[in-house]
């Protein structure tokens, strides 16, 4: 076993016992939106919403209105929204100068008599080098876990959707643990401030506090003191990670290393960290059947059709396809034998945002981690690891995977993926320039 696992984390993870009927897998973004709104309306004592962003659009307004309505109906309700500090203060990429979501939060606070505080967490002083990428909504004793943020496309408010995974777990101990981290590990920090009130401090003025918060988060964990070490029953373990060689990244690598016969991985941005690539290679060498499901470049949330004006951000889906093609070329023999199956997801003009892993019909990893260098080093990430040694969740697990595979096609040969000369001229020109000045490797590390 590689030296990385001499002090293996998996056997030492404390977990919360979980009843099979306490786990529900929601079928699609529209059902996720309905479930979230229903749970908010029924809440009796707490609502903790944590997401990269809550967007100023129709779906975002619907969520925020529901939170204010719940608070107005039950003033004793503990309602907290936590988003990324930097992401909330800028507009959409490529949309020109905009005030950002924070201006909308402040407007909503002025217009409502009920109070729904929106906290901004600065993981770094620059968004490029790290954001709040935690997932999970705690509503009473339920945890709704998805990689989705909150806007029209993630919630399938209109015609288009962004496909993700959606789980509801009814478990008080898990909900308590996740709330405790938000309450004591995040919003208690001097670096964290409300975005829904005027006169926000500058990020520059918070530099020391942000450094202190990041240092603390590198050593932070979910409180699992009420959990157990028993590995014989269905259970769930919350995981946290930020920075190099963090516990979440190590568990991801250990899960791949533990696979004996089947490994399935989902990632929207094919740009695997070196430790993950190494463990996949070792899994293939020992005879594990590996399925990797990624989005077609046209299903990437950064994709811009060639008919529209070129923006630098539009090159990202092509960079990911280049990375996928290189990986497929190195593993063409395993693709031919069926040991490795690379699947491209595409459903019309909809987009793909799935993350996570399934290992040997035992482990299921729910996470917002994109399995890329940025997630392994820069962003604050979390995950829920479900351990199912008796196969109690086998049927819903198969159902979720069948739904994911429904809009995929297998890559039979690396040559079926496009190359630089086949890309739109503006994209091809930019990528040639990037390669020529040797910054491609840096881009792969931070995007």
Cβ–Cβ < 8 Å for 104, 68:
no
- Residues marked active site are found at 133, 164, 353, 381
Q: Rounded CA gap, 129 and 22, in Å? A: 37
Cβ–Cβ < 8 Å for 267, 355:
yes
CB within 8 Å of 245: residues ≥ 6 apart: none
Output the CA–CA distances (angstroms, integers) from residue 259 to 171, 245, 328, 447, in the order listed: 27, 20, 21, 28
User: Could you say which DSSP state residue 313 is in?
Assistant: G
431 Cα distance to chain centroid = 27
Cβ–Cβ < 8 Å for 409, 343:
yes
Output the CA–CA distances (angstroms, integers) from residue 224 to 145, 232, 322, 418, in the order listed: 18, 18, 41, 47
Q: Rounded CA gap, 363 and 258, in Å? A: 10
Residues 175-207 as b/e (b if ≥16 CB within 10 A, e otherwise) read bbbbbebbeebbbebebbbbbbeeebeebeebe
Tokens of 73: 């109906």
Cβ–Cβ < 8 Å for 352, 300:
yes
Tokens of 341: 């199956």
Question: Which residue is listed with tokens 């293939």?
Answer: 284
Q: Rounded CA gap, 419 and 2, in Å? A: 35
CB within 8 Å of 207: residues ≥ 6 apart: 125
């Amino acid at each position: 076993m590689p030296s990385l696992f001499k002090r293996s984390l998996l056997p030492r993870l404390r977990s919360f016992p979980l009843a099979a009927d306490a786990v529900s897998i929601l079928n699609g973004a529209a059902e996720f939106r309905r479930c979230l709104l229903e749970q908010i309306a029924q809440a009796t004592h707490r609502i903790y919403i944590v997401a990269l962003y809550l967007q100023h659009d129709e779906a975002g307004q619907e969520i925020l209105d529901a939170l204010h309505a719940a608070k107005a109906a039950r003033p004793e309700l503990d309602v907290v929204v936590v988003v990324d500090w930097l992401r909330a203060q800028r507009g959409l990429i490529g949309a020109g100068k905009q005030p950002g979501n924070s201006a909308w939060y402040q407007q909503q606070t002025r217009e409502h008599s009920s109070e729904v505080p929106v906290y901004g967490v600065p993981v770094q002083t620059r968004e490029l080098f790290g954001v709040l990428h935690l997932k999970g909504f705690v509503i009473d004793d339920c945890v709704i876990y998805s990689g989705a943020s909150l806007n029209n496309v993630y919630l399938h408010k209109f015609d288009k959707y962004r496909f993700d995974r959606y789980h509801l777990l009814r478990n008080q101990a898990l909900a308590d643990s996740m709330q405790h981290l938000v309450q004591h590990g995040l919003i208690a920090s001097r670096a964290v401030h409300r975005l829904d009130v005027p006169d926000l401090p500058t990020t520059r003025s918070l530099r020391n506090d942000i450094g202190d918060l990041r240092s603390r988060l590198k050593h932070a964990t979910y409180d699992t003191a009420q959990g157990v070490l028993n590995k014989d029953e269905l259970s769930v373990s919350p995981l946290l990670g930020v920075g190099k060689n963090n516990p979440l990244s190590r568990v991801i690598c250990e899960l791949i290393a533990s696979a004996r016969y089947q490994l399935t991985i989902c990632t929207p941005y094919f740009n695997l960290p070196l430790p993950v690539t190494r463990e996949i290679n070792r899994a293939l060498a020992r005879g594990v059947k590996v399925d990797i499901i990624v989005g077609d470049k046209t299903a990437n949330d950064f994709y811009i059709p060639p008919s529209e004006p070129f923006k630098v951000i539009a090159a990202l889906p092509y960079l990911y396809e280049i990375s996928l093609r290189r990986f497929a070329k190195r593993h063409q023999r395993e693709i031919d034998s069926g040991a490795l199956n690379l699947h491209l997801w595409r459903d019309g003009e909809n987009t793909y945002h799935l993350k996570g892993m399934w290992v040997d019909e035992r482990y299921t990893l729910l996470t917002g981690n994109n399995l890329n260098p940025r997630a392994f080093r820069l962003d604050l990430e979390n995950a829920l690891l479900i351990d199912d040694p008796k196969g109690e969740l086998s049927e819903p697990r198969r159902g979720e995977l069948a739904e994911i595979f429904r809009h995929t096609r297998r890559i039979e040969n690396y040559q079926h993926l496009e190359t630089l000369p086949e890309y739109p001229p503006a994209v091809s020109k930019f990528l040639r320039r990037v390669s020529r000045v040797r910054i491609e490797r840096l881009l792969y590390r931070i995007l």
